[in-house]
Structure 1
Amino acid sequence: MTGSEVPPSFRLAYVLGVTPTKWVRIWNERLPDVPLTLVQVSAAEASDVLRGGGADAGFVRLPIDRTDLSAIPLYTEATVVVVPKDHIVAAVDEVSAEDLADEIVLHPLDDTLDWERRPGRPAIERPATTADAIELVAAGVGLLVVPQSLARLHHRKDLTYRPVTDAPGSRIALSWPEEKTTEHVEDFIGIVRGRTVNSSRGRAPAPAQPKSTPAQPKGKRPDTSGTRRKPAAGKPTRKSPRGGSGGPKSAKRGKPRRRS
């Protein structure tokens, strides 16, 4: 390898809440010679990281500006409300947005939920991040509605969460720069979509070897028992000298009689 050559690698960005462990493991099994580097990004900066070449592909939260980015939606997360364990909401299995109408619901600046109308009453100030909002919930300042993966990520013993049945979900997608759909990007798309290594978009399978017929052992003539040779054209078939209708019948000869 010369000094100008760069060894192959793959950089994968992911937003908080996404766990790419399973896909990374499959990548390492299929492409052990191409190291995969994880790049953690916030939901707000994910698109800029991809456009700027900071990652080859990434798991993002929709919606994003798809002017020059391709995206494959993968799944939608449930939305939950984070509350103190002694809050009245903790006593039920689930709530609706209307059930939170009288509560102060924090709205962090990095929120990605696509609300038409946010539930509850707004706080005086918006927390900078979801992590900051979690601290305020623990302090009894208000409640927080977030994707379930973020509630798990920021889990605290003094807090719990419950599903919000009519809240918008958070959609997770795999995204990459449209003009940089490289072979390795295609490989990773195949892994995320569950393609096998021998699928049409995966690694090409080894060519099938033609079946060989067993060779006849040397010095041994093929067994032709049970077969009858046909007579050559133009040659008469021999008949047995005894019997048959092919030859003339011979006269019967006996001993001469004596004359008296």
Structure 2
Amino acid sequence: MTPGKWVRIWNERLPDVPLELVQVSAAEAPDVLRDGGADAGFLRLPADRTDLSAIPLYTETTVVVVPKDHLVAAFDEVSAEDLADELVLHPLDDTLDWEHPPGQPAIERPATTADAIALVGAGVGLLIVPQSLARLHHRKDLTYRTVTDVPESRVALSWREDATTDLVDDFIGIVRGRTVNSTRGRRAAASAEPQRKQPAKGGAGQKAAGGKPSGKSTGKPTGKSTGKPTGKGAARRGSGSPKAGKQGGKRGKPRRRP
């Protein structure tokens, strides 16, 4: 694996929590998780997932590792059939799901992928591996090309089912591309401060944050402008004339002229 991007994001979001990387082989990874040697890890599927949770992440390109002066290096990609006459090494820690790789088998199987890479460098055969392993074992005298029509390696993020801690959940969020605002980790949620509800501005009938009516802007009758009868005749309006009440009452008899 090449987890540099995820490590950088972790250090930005959780600078107070060191993240230690432990390199193990694909065959060892499930047992390292079960034994508590790591809190989370990357598995190559298929793998024994007893007592482990796993989230498939992606499928990796399969490549053939060859010397730089090999004929295969002249092409962008080759097929399994193109390698039929080549000696193809099959290490015991092979991570691809097949019993027999294409090409001609070697008399003995190398113990590890690293041993097989050394043999390719010595001009003894070729090696088919996931692309990340070709990068991991990069040598100046070797190169690799995509191989079609062969199995591909699936990669998953895994952790113990009974050990889904807050930090593990944070790491899952980073690997799955959650932003700092959308992370569902419980540590982030617990540390977030609740926002206070702001009271609305102005206007009658609004309530303060605590729900208690405040001041004369609450709609409570407070005087002549509320529509409450204040004397004879009709109710006054705030902008009305003091004589409006008389004009709105019963009209008297006309006075005679002398």
Same fold, TM-score > 0.5, yes or no: yes
Residue in structure 2 matching 1:130, options 110, 113, 136: 113
Q: Which structure 2 residues correspond to residues 14-53 of structure 1 after superposition, within 5 A? A: 18-53=1-36
DSSP 3-state at the match of 2:2:
coil
Cα contact 2:2–2:132 (8 A) shared by 1: no
* Structure of larger gyration radius: 1
Residue in structure 1 matching 2:141, options 155, 158, 166: 158
Q: 1:249: which partner in 2?
A: 254
Q: Which structure 2 residues correspond to residues 1-260 of structure 1 after superposition, within 5 A? A: 18-115=1-98, 117-199=100-182, 201-202=184-185, 203-204=188-189, 205-213=192-200, 230=227, 232=229, 235-237=232-234, 238-239=245-246, 246-253=251-258
Q: Which amino acid in 2 is paired with 1:145? A: I
DSSP 3-state at the match of 2:115:
helix
DSSP 3-state at the match of 1:95:
strand
DSSP 3-state at the match of 1:38:
coil
Q: CA 1:236/1:27 → structure 2, altered by over 3 Å: closer, same or farther?
A: same
| Percent identity of equivalent pairs | 73
- After TM superposition, the score normalised by the length of structure 2 is 0.79
147-156 or 228-237, which moves further after superposition?
A: 228-237
Q: Which amino acid in 2 is paired with 1:211? A: Q
DSSP 3-state at the match of 2:162:
helix
- Once the two structures are TM-superposed, the CA of residue 113 in structure 1 deviates from its matched residue by 0.6
Deviations 1:119-176 (A, max 9, x none): 0111111112212211211211101111111112222222221110111111111111
DSSP 3-state at the match of 1:41:
coil
DSSP 3-state at the match of 1:40:
coil
- Once the two structures are TM-superposed, the CA of residue 199 in structure 1 deviates from its matched residue by 2.8
DSSP 3-state at the match of 2:20:
strand
Q: CA 1:128/1:117 → structure 2, altered by over 3 Å: closer, same or farther?
A: closer
Count of residue pairs brought into register by the alignment: 227
- Where does structure 1 lack aligned partners over 5 or more consecutive residues? 1-17, 254-260
Q: CA 1:151/1:213 → structure 2, altered by over 3 Å: closer, same or farther?
A: same
Structure whose residues are more often helix by fraction: 2
CA distance in 1, matches of 2:38, 2:183: 26
- Where does structure 2 lack aligned partners over 5 or more consecutive residues? 204-215, 218-223, 235-244
Deviations 1:10-67 (A, max 9, x none): xxxxxxxx11121122222222232221111111111111111111111121221011
CA distance in 2, matches of 1:23, 1:127: 33
Cα contact 2:95–2:153 (8 A) shared by 1: yes
- Once the two structures are TM-superposed, the CA of residue 100 in structure 1 deviates from its matched residue by 0.8
CA distance in 2, matches of 1:46, 1:231: 82
Q: CA 1:132/1:229 → structure 2, altered by over 3 Å: closer, same or farther?
A: closer
- After TM superposition, the score normalised by the length of structure 1 is 0.78
CA distance in 2, matches of 1:231, 1:133: 98
CA distance in 2, matches of 1:247, 1:200: 80
- Once the two structures are TM-superposed, the CA of residue 181 in structure 1 deviates from its matched residue by 1.5
Computed over aligned residues only, the root mean square deviation of the Cα atoms, in angstroms, reads: 2.7
DSSP 3-state at the match of 1:83:
strand
